[in-house]
Amino acid sequence: EAIEKGGYEHFMLKEINEQPRSIADCMRGRLDANNGRLVLGGLRDYMNKFQNADRIIITACGTSWHAGLVAEYLFEEFARIPVEVEYASEFRYRNPVISEKDFVIAISQSGETADTLAAIELAKSKGATIFGVCNVVGSSIARATHAGSYTHAGPEIGVASTKAFTAQISVLTMMALKLGYQRGTLSENRYMQLLSELETIPSKVEKALQLNDKIKEIAAKFKDARNFLYLGRGYNFPVALEGALKLKEISYIHAEGYPAAEMKHGPIALIDEEMPVVFIATKDSSYEKVVSNIQEVKARKGKIIAVVTEGDTTVKQMADYVIEIPETEEAFVPLISVIPLQQLSYHIAVMRGCNVDQPRNLAKSVTVE
C-alpha cells in the first residue's frame, strides 16, 4: 500500500496532486489546439443525435452530479441546448418526461452507482440516447450506455472524489466545445481560442497546487470550526457545493454550499464571528456581485476565506485569508478553483485525526439504493 501511495501519506493527497497529469491524460489524443483538432471517439457515431437533441439531460449522484451542474453552464453557454441536471435517485422514481429527442449523459466515476444505472435503464426504455462519462473501464454503466467517453483519470482510491471530478469536467468541457462548434453557436475564432486555453489547464492546476502550504496554515486556523459556508456564483456555484461536500465527507464538519446571492434568502442568519465563509470570487462576470456578498458577510463579522484570481486587490482588502489562483477563461475556472478547496478539506480532516481515505459510513461506490 505504501508503494501505491507513491510517497504520499494518503491516497486522497496523491490523487489531488495527480490532477495536472490526470487532466492532461484525459485530453491526450483528443485535443490538439494547434491544429484545431478535438476528437472524442465515443461521440463520433452519436454526434448527429447530440447536435440535434431537443434537450440534454444529465444524471448522476454526489460529486459526479456537481460535475453535471458545471456541464449545464457549459452546454447552455457554448451550444445553446437546454440542459437539465437530475439526481439519479429522484429522476428514476418521478416518472420524468423523456423522449427520443433527448440526449442523456450519465456521469459516474465508478460506473457502478445503483441509482445512476437505474436512471439509465429508465431513459433507455423511453427511447433516449444515453452517453456515459465514466472513469472505470468496462464498468456496468459504461456497458449499459449507447456510447461514452472515459475520463482516463486512473484508479481513484480515496472515497472523496478529487481527480475524477476534474477529469469529468474536462470531458464535458470538450463535449460542449465540440457541440458548440458543430452547431455553429461558437465561432471558429472563439473555438480556437478556447481550445488553446484548455490546453494550458494542466499547468495552471500545477501552479494552484503549489498553494498547499498556505492552505495548510488556513486549515490550522479553522480545524475546530463547527460549520462552514461555501459561496460562489455561475461556474463557481457547483464548486461551492463540491467544496462543502468534500469538507463534510472527510472532516465531519457541517458545511453547506450555496449560490452566493441566495445567502440573503436564509443562510445569512447563520453568520456571526464563529462562521467561516469560503467565497470563490474569481474575476468573472459575477465578480462585482460576489464582492458585495463578501461585504455583507464582513459586516456581520463572518470569517472570510476567499479564492481569487491572481493579482486581485479588491477582495484582498476585505478577506481574512486569500488564495490566489491562476487566471483562465470563466468557463474553465472550476478546474482550478476546486483545487484549493480539496486541499483545505484534506488538511482540516488530517488535523482533526479523521480517516481521510475511508471516512465513516461511506463507500467508494454506492451499489445499493
Q: Which residues are catalytic, by number?
A: 364
Amino acid making up residue 43: L
Beta carbons of 226 and 325 less than 8 angstroms apart: no
Nearer to ligand AGP, 131 or 191 (CB): 131
For residue 266, count CB atoms less than 10 angstroms from its CB and return exposed for 0-12, middle for 13-18, buried for 19 or more.
exposed
**Binding characters for ligand AGP, 198-237, by CB under 6 A (x = yes):** ----------------------------------------
Residue number closest to ligand AGP, CB atom: 62
**Binding characters for ligand AGP, 57-76, by CB under 6 A (x = yes):** ----xxxx------------
Q: Contact with ligand AGP (CB under 6 A): which of 89, 109, 293, 345?
A: 109
Nearer to ligand AGP, 49 or 248 (CB): 248
Q: Contact with ligand AGP (CB under 6 A): which of 89, 145, 161, 328?
A: 161
Q: Contact with ligand AGP (CB under 6 A): which of 22, 89, 110, 236?
A: 110
User: Within the chain, where are the H helices?
Assistant: 11-17, 19-27, 47-51, 62-79, 88-91, 114-125, 140-144, 163-183, 188-199, 201-209, 212-222, 236-251, 287-299, 314-318, 334-351
Beta carbons of 176 and 162 less than 8 angstroms apart: no
Sites for ligand AGP among residues 350-369 (CB under 6 A): 365-366
The reply on whether position 33 binds ligand AGP by CB under 6 A is: no
From the DSSP assignment, how many helices (H) and strands (E) are in the chain? 15, 12
The reply on whether position 108 binds ligand AGP by CB under 6 A is: yes
**Residue that has been written with the C-alpha cell 443525435 in this structure:** 49
Sites for ligand AGP among residues 249-278 (CB under 6 A): 249
- Terminus-to-terminus CA distance in the chain, angstroms? 30
Judged by the rule CB under 6 A, the positions of this chain that interact with ligand AGP are 61-64, 108-110, 113, 116, 159-161, 249, 365-366
